[in-house]
Amino acid sequence: MLVTNKTGDARIGHCRICNAQIAPFMSFGRMPIANGFLKPDEIESEYFFELAPAFCDACGMFQLIEQPQPEKMFHQQYAFYSSTSRYMQRHFEAFAHAVINGPLAGRADPFVVELGSNDGIMLQHFQRCGLRHLGVEPSANVADMARNRGISTVTTFFNSKLAADISAEHGSADAILAANVMCHIPDLPGVAAGVQRLLKSDGIFVFEDPYLGDMIAKTSYDQIYDEHVFIFSATSVRRAFAPFGLELVDVAPQVTHGGSMRYTLAPKGSRKASESVDQQLTKEAVLGLDRAETYLKFKTNCESSRIGLTQTLERLRGQGKRIVGYGATSKSTTVINYCKITPEQIEFISDTTPIKQGRLSPGAHIPVRPYGEFLERYPDYALLFAWNHAAEIREKETGFVAAGGRWIVYVPEIAIVS
């Protein structure tokens, strides 16, 4: 059953993949758009929805029961620019070269399509090698940035019709790539049909997304926000793409986004599956990713994490300490609103992304300030919202720690570290 709430957004009672009946196992409460950094005059019209995940017993897909309409999340003012992290730049360079030197090696005039190509962080490497490429990116501001760098990009959502149009204009694709995108798309079967249509019979489809196993193991519930309508596992990906003739032939864990998985799929029978697939499926069964009770335990862990973080912030505030948030991440929106963190607890959130600076955080309305303000006057504590970049950040912020500053972290557990 698909019902719509007052604003017309879809709230489902059946799995988006296999149509079995599903129900949320917990709720994070009313949530704003994770990347919806706003100006003070936009507070009145701020949009909220219920952030509640469900696990499908039948096919193993972890999903939100309600997701705002895509236009509310991906638009002209989309606040997420992939190229802000040096580490991510290196990651995508390595991803691109693994494809160029791996499956594309020796192919005559290969054609590569990237779904959700953002500002061209990955496609630029194909462009530099003179390879035919096309980015599909619905958010106009980041797509413009890619085009300005000479990267072929169309500003639209990917579906089966677009797959046919691309195929007619450029021919079938040797490789279709996506990073942190597939988990955004509620009509995953529609995209799978498009991939099936666009891919050559010996082509490959490679995508990576935050990994369910890491989220459960680390209680990193902040991966759950509006854009992430799915959190994938090898088990759920394998089942979701099988009806479209696409077989899971490789999996490779990644450290990005606090723990991701790269999935390689190919038309059924076209490639031998690597041993990593069976190994990962076995690991997931051992972890209990296919069992409802795992998610009830996860719910308890989320509640404990919330209590721990709230108590830590209150204790430090009681001691008159200055606390600043570090990194106005999408993920922080879930933490801030679920834990009901206020501007009285967190003075501001430091962020290097110009479009977020001078705005207010979604829901709690904590000011987002340029990174320079963090450097100018170090706080006593910095709450590490960009924990997925911890290595890069802690390497950069030795001055903060030398000045007596301490980090508050909440993944995998609440801790104060120097």
User: Contact residues for ligand TYD (CB under 6 A)?
Assistant: 80, 84-85, 327-331, 351-353, 356, 371, 386, 388-389, 392-393
Residue 361 Cα distances to 244, 328, 329, 340, 389, angstroms: 40, 8, 10, 12, 20
Phi/psi at 353 (5° precision)? -85, 115
Q: Would you call 188 helix, strand, or coil by DSSP?
A: helix
Separation between Cα atoms, residue 355 and residue 140, nearest integer Å:
14
Q: Which is nearer to ligand TYD, 312 or 329 (CB)?
A: 329
Catalogue the long-range contacts made by 413-418 (C-beta closer than 8 Å, 24 or more residues apart).
413/219, 413/305, 413/308, 414/305, 414/308, 414/309, 414/312, 416/312, 416/381
CB of 348 to ligand TYD, least distance (A): 12
Separation between Cα atoms, residue 307 and residue 314, nearest integer Å:
11
CB of 227 to ligand TYD, least distance (A): 8
CB of 35 to ligand TYD, least distance (A): 7
Q: Which is nearer to ligand TYD, 85 or 160 (CB)?
A: 85
Q: Which residues contact 393 (CB under 8 A, 6 or more apart)?
A: 326, 327, 384, 386
Separation between Cα atoms, residue 84 and residue 63, nearest integer Å:
28
Report the phi/psi class of residue 280: left, alpha or beta, with left for phi > 0 and alpha for psi in -120 to 50.
alpha
CB of 306 to ligand TYD, least distance (A): 18
CB of 12 to ligand TYD, least distance (A): 24
How distant is the alpha carbon of residue 50 from its chain centre?
Answer: 18
Q: Which is nearer to ligand TYD, 153 or 333 (CB)?
A: 333
Helix axes 160-170, 188-198, angle to 10 degrees: 20
CB of 95 to ligand TYD, least distance (A): 15
Q: Which is nearer to ligand TYD, 85 or 312 (CB)?
A: 85
Q: Are 387 and 409 in contact (CB under 8 A)?
A: yes
Q: Which residues contact 45 (CB under 8 A, 6 or more apart)?
A: none
Q: Which is nearer to ligand TYD, 247 or 351 (CB)?
A: 351
Q: Which is nearer to ligand TYD, 228 or 238 (CB)?
A: 228
CB of 121 to ligand TYD, least distance (A): 11
Separation between Cα atoms, residue 346 and residue 323, nearest integer Å:
5
Q: Which is nearer to ligand TYD, 17 or 33 (CB)?
A: 33
Q: Which amino acid is at 237?
A: V
> Residue 115 pairs with which residues in a beta bridge?
136, 178
CB of 326 to ligand TYD, least distance (A): 7
CB of 372 to ligand TYD, least distance (A): 11
Q: Which is nearer to ligand TYD, 24 or 327 (CB)?
A: 327
Q: Which is nearer to ligand TYD, 85 or 337 (CB)?
A: 85
Task: Tell me the H-state helices in 24-149.
Answer: 70-73, 86-101, 123-128, 140-148
CB of 340 to ligand TYD, least distance (A): 19
Q: Which is nearer to ligand TYD, 209 or 250 (CB)?
A: 209
For 186, other C-beta atoms within 10 Å of its C-beta total 17
Helix axes 188-198, 234-241, angle to 10 degrees: 60
